[in-house]
Amino acid sequence: MNAIIVSVGNELTSGQTVDTNSAYLSRRIAEFGICPLAHWTVGDSRRDIAEAIARASGSADVVIVSGGLGPTADDQTRQAVAEALGCELVLDEGCLARIEEFFRARGRVMGEANRIQAMAPRGAELLENKVGTAPGLFARIGEAAVFVVPGVPSEMEWMFDNQIAPRLPRNSGVTIHRTIHTFGAGESDVGTRILDLMQKTGPVLVGTTVAAGMVSIRIISRGKTGQEAQAQSEEVAQEVKRRLGELVIGEGSQSMAARVGEMLRERRQTLATAESCTGGLLGQMITSVPGASDYYLGGVISYANRVKEQLLGVEARVIAEHGAVSEEVAGAMAHGARKLMGSDWAISITGVAGPGGSSAEKPVGLVWMALAGPGGVKTSKTLWGGTREIIRVRAALNAINMLRLELMNR
């Protein structure tokens, strides 16, 4: 069983928006054993959309179209489906009432333009959209099952789970994707430890990808049933975790900050931060986790030496002697932040993010980090290449990782 995915919008063909819907839909249909044949992108022209839908339904079992269901004149997908079906659009009173209610519930009045969203080609089914105003469509064109959903990614995802997935034709086989994230070792090092698993061709495929200093292991398991695919995937995942040990930080969408947050919450401990070259990035990562207020007290962005001295109590003498980017200053920053906020733990970062500000002794990419805790202060140094942004992200991740390892090993 196979599928063609069609994305609609001038913002996509012009390059203003990157098409992420197709990638998402491809991953999701694979879970149902449906093989994506192609991604097609067309602009907002009714003729082009209709032609794409007609051609796709002639060559694939499933066609999923996203975008162009809005109420404005440039949203032509609904009309294009009618054209591909050779049917006219008719108003669905029940659907119109639901859209009016959607606006009423948000204290707004539905505009006249939104009426079009309650229209469907004769012979097509309207798919209710509980997270937006534009309902989707489901139609059979020839042998193909054709689904049409709004382009807004969050609405498209909701529509996939609630409207498309239950209607997908069942196939002989299920594919499950799983991702395990690691931090602290390079891709080749991780790859060597799981080489034999990566070389297998078999119902379970293992591969690695790198992003922002994190190496992730992808596990794709294919089985006759969901249960079989799940069991195979679990077996390989356990083996990967066993081999990679404390490098493993989490799975799926779990971030390092979320993992550390869990550990702090379990221990009822608190955290503070003191940042120089990352300028708040560490605090941002920590607070992007819902519920971070349970353990995160706050941070000081001590960019200037005067702030390091006055807020964190770093001695001017220490800065003068060792420089702001030094083991001594990092340690004093963490110690000062812990004292200032009265937290169990404090993490500090000071480094040269570049591109300027380096010296022979302190090159771009040199970062000192420190962790102050009940047992005293520990420091750590890293030196990476890369752009300013990469250096900052890696520094923040590495600093959180210091705390993760400390908490794991206590």
Give the residues lining the site for Mg ion (CB under 5 A).
70, 75
Nearest to 247 by CA among 192, 294, 178: 192
Any alpha helices (H) in 169-255, and if so which ranges? 187-193, 195-199, 226-244
Binding site partner of 13, from Mg ion, ligand ATP, none, Cβ cut-off 5-8 A by kind? none
Nearest to 213 by CA among 260, 273, 261, 255: 255
Among 12, 120, 257, 364, contact with ligand ATP (rule: CB under 6 A)? 12
By beta-carbon proximity to Mg ion, the closer residue of 69 and 257 is 69
Are 340 and 349 in contact by the 8 Å Cβ rule? The answer is no
Structure tokens at 215: 């190496």
Contacting range for ligand ATP; rule: CB under 6 A; set: 89-97, 149-157, 167-175, 297-305 = 149-157
In angstroms, the CA 107 to CA 327 distance is 57
Nearest to 3 by CA among 29, 41, 24: 29
Q: Is 64 in the site for ligand ATP (CB under 6 A)?
A: no
Q: Is 152 in the site for ligand ATP (CB under 6 A)?
A: yes
By beta-carbon proximity to Mg ion, the closer residue of 75 and 83 is 75
Kindly give, in sequence order, each residue whose CB lies less than 8 Å from that of residue 356, ignoring residues fewer than 6 positions away: none
By beta-carbon proximity to ligand ATP, the closer residue of 135 and 223 is 135
Segment 122 to 141, residues that bind ligand ATP, using CB under 6 A: 132-134
Kindly give, in sequence order, each residue whose CB lies less than 8 Å from that of residue 203, ignoring residues fewer than 6 positions away: 221, 222, 223, 229, 232
Q: Is 371 in the site for ligand ATP (CB under 6 A)?
A: no
By beta-carbon proximity to ligand ATP, the closer residue of 20 and 288 is 20
Q: How far is the CB of 7 from Mg ion (least distance, A)?
A: 12
Q: Is 6 in the site for ligand ATP (CB under 6 A)?
A: no
By beta-carbon proximity to Mg ion, the closer residue of 70 and 173 is 70
Are 78 and 120 in contact by the 8 Å Cβ rule? The answer is yes
By beta-carbon proximity to ligand ATP, the closer residue of 124 and 134 is 134
Nearest to 302 by CA among 327, 328, 332, 257: 332
Q: Is 68 in the site for ligand ATP (CB under 6 A)?
A: yes
Segment 17 to 46, residues that bind ligand ATP, using CB under 6 A: 17, 19-21
Residues that bind ligand ATP (CB under 6 A): 7, 9, 11-12, 17, 19-21, 66-70, 75, 132-134, 150-153
